[in-house]
Amino acid sequence: MIPYGRQDISDADIEAVIDVLKSNFLTQGPKVPEFEKALTSITGAKHALAMNSATSALHAACLALGLGKGDILWTTPVTFVASANAGLYCGAKIDFVDIDPDTYNICPKKLEKELIKAQINGTLPKILVPVHLCGQSCDMRAIRDLCMGYGVKIIEDASHAIGGSYLGGPIGNCAYSDITIFSFHPVKIITTGEGGAALTNDDQLADKMALYRGHGITRDKNMMTEPLHGPWYYQQVELGYNYRMTDIQAALGVSQIGRLSEFVSKRHQIARRYDRLLDGLPVVIPSQLDDTYSGLHLYVIRLKLDYILRSHKEVFEGLREYDIGVNVHYIPVHLQPYYAAMGFKKGDFPESEKYYSEAISLPMYSALSEKDQDKVVEVLRSLVSPK
Ligand SMILES: *Cc1c(COP(=O)(O)O)cnc(C)c1O
């Protein structure tokens, strides 16, 4: 099986993990701060908080921004469910803004329309979660300008996008957002097994996320309600969680981050090769915007179904029959039964639904061989024969 995505683990990565296993600390040791320092140094963000997943980091970020019952969070329908679920964990309501049909990212023009409507109706969101789909940044300058005007906070879900850049700055620098989230799941660009991080330039938000990551417990005198009872003393001042990353994971992260630019440039070589090989086929290839450099987590094509004999499902199944692990990113979140039960329905976000009816993620990972890539294209070519 050629998977759609997979990790790339070197001997040095393995050594780094073994070293931790032989050390005194499997968790709460020196590797987590070392990984966090690596994250701030590649992004330029002031703070990075490593956590046990991007989902946890999204949750801690929402809590730090004060999201709660009675509040609203907006995101895109074309994302993994976690981008929206984080808001539900906090008791907030969720709504969506439809995508731009060319980039598949949240559309700033639709966002503006929805913000105007929401202000009139008194339903403005507290937080917007734009998602950099496939690794290409959203139009963050337009999104930031709009959100500032309406007092909406921004969490960038950059789970696909570490190693990319936008307007000359690294994704994760939080130049256009309050907090940025990365995921280190094995299919993503670098991995820690499971893992994620939240980055911010705001000292207070960083302190709050640290609290929510660690049971709501503090050892900082300034955050306590009374003087220390003794050197052992700590206080629980919030209801937090155990969202810590282990040192085993962080060591893998440190080692992987050293290979990040190699990984991303390899992904770009593979993408350019797909672009060439798919030329002339009835498919839409990903658009690369000026002023962005994608992390290229995914390479999504859209089938021009009007010109193709087979259906979307038949082309997908045909690829799978040849052991090509294609996937679809994503089933629009509002159509999931859990969200449909809140009142969302087919037709609510037409661009997202149209995208879903045509999209296929082709295999994309740094270690994908040219031979395997040729096989993917050859099988695809045989399946998209014209009407
Ligand atoms: C993978 C992913 C997540 C969740 O990441 P985990 O680290 O698995 O929790 C959230 N949002 C998006 C867009 C993702 O792709």
**pLDDT tens digits along 312-354:** 999 999 999 999 999 999 999 999 999 999 999 999 999 999 9
Instruction: Verify that 125 and 266 share a domain, yes or no.
Output: no
What contacts 225, CB < 8 A, 6 or more positions away? 235, 237
pLDDT of residue 346: 98
What atom in ligand 1 is closest to the CA of residue 57? 9
Domain containing residue 346: CATH number: 3.90.1150.10
Domain containing residue 133: CATH number: 3.40.640.10
Please give the average per-residue pLDDT across 119-132, as a whole number.
98
Please give the average per-residue pLDDT across 355-377, as a whole number.
97
- Atom 10 in ligand 1: which residue has the minimum CA distance? 82
* Position 116 confidence tier, pLDDT thresholds 50, 70, 90: very high
Instruction: Verify that 117 and 241 share a domain, yes or no.
Output: yes
How many Å lie between the centroid of ligand 1 and the Cα of residue 183?
6
Instruction: Verify that 16 and 130 share a domain, yes or no.
Output: yes
Instruction: Report whether residue 245 contacts ligand 1, using a CB cutoff of 6 Å.
Output: no
Q: Which two tokens stand for residue 271?
A: 């993408």
Q: How many Cα atoms within 13 Å fall on the side-chain side of residue 333?
A: 21
Query: Using one digit for the tens of pLDDT, what is the confidence trace for 153-196?
Result: 999 999 999 999 999 999 999 999 999 999 999 999 999 999 99
Instruction: Verify that 269 and 290 share a domain, yes or no.
Output: yes
Instruction: Verify that 319 and 288 share a domain, yes or no.
Output: yes
pLDDT of residue 288: 86
Q: Among the three residues 257, 286, 302, which one is the final residue of a domain in this structure?
A: 257
Instruction: Verify that 133 and 15 share a domain, yes or no.
Output: yes
Residue ranges making up the domain that contains 338: 260-383
Instruction: Verify that 123 and 9 share a domain, yes or no.
Output: yes
Query: Using one digit for the tens of pLDDT, what is the confidence trace for 260-287?
Result: 999 999 999 999 999 999 999 999 999 9
Instruction: Verify that 276 and 137 share a domain, yes or no.
Output: no
pLDDT of residue 227: 95
- Atom 5 in ligand 1: which residue has the minimum CA distance? 54
Instruction: Verify that 316 and 237 share a domain, yes or no.
Output: no
What contacts 175, CB < 8 A, 6 or more positions away? 140, 167, 169
Q: Among the three residues 204, 238, 257, which one is the final residue of a domain in this structure?
A: 257
How many Å lie between the centroid of ligand 1 and the Cα of residue 113?
28
H or E stretch including 207? Answer: helix 203-213
Instruction: Report whether residue 319 contacts ligand 1, using a CB cutoff of 6 Å.
Output: no
How many Å lie between the centroid of ligand 1 and the Cα of residue 57?
10
User: Active site residue: 188, 304, 345, 387, which one?
Assistant: 188
Residue 245 CB coordination number (10 Å): 29
pLDDT of residue 181: 98
Instruction: Report whether residue 105 contacts ligand 1, using a CB cutoff of 6 Å.
Output: no
Q: What is the mean pLDDT of the chain?
A: 97
Number of domains observed in the structure of the chain = 2
pLDDT of residue 161: 98
What atom in ligand 1 is closest to the CA of residue 82? 10
Instruction: Verify that 214 and 297 share a domain, yes or no.
Output: no
Query: Using one digit for the tens of pLDDT, what is the confidence trace for 28-48?
Result: 999 999 999 999 999 999 999
Instruction: Verify that 279 and 182 share a domain, yes or no.
Output: no
Q: Which residue has the tokens 């946890």?
A: 56
How many Å lie between the centroid of ligand 1 and the Cα of residue 188?
9
Residues present in the chain in total: 387
Instruction: Verify that 232 and 319 share a domain, yes or no.
Output: no
**Exposed, middle or buried by CB within 10 Å (0-12, 13-18, 19+), for 371?**
exposed
* Position 387 confidence tier, pLDDT thresholds 50, 70, 90: confident
Instruction: Report whether residue 75 contacts ligand 1, using a CB cutoff of 6 Å.
Output: no
Q: Among the three residues 190, 224, 257, which one is the final residue of a domain in this structure?
A: 257
Instruction: Report whether residue 218 contacts ligand 1, using a CB cutoff of 6 Å.
Output: no
Instruction: Report whether residue 191 contacts ligand 1, using a CB cutoff of 6 Å.
Output: no
188 is catalytic: yes
pLDDT of residue 34: 98
Among candidate residues 358, 278, 380, 363, the one with its CA nearest the CA of residue 101: 358
- In single-letter form, the type of residue at position 78 comes to V
Bond from prior residue into 330 cis (ω within 30 degrees of 0): yes
How many Å lie between the centroid of ligand 1 and the Cα of residue 237?
29
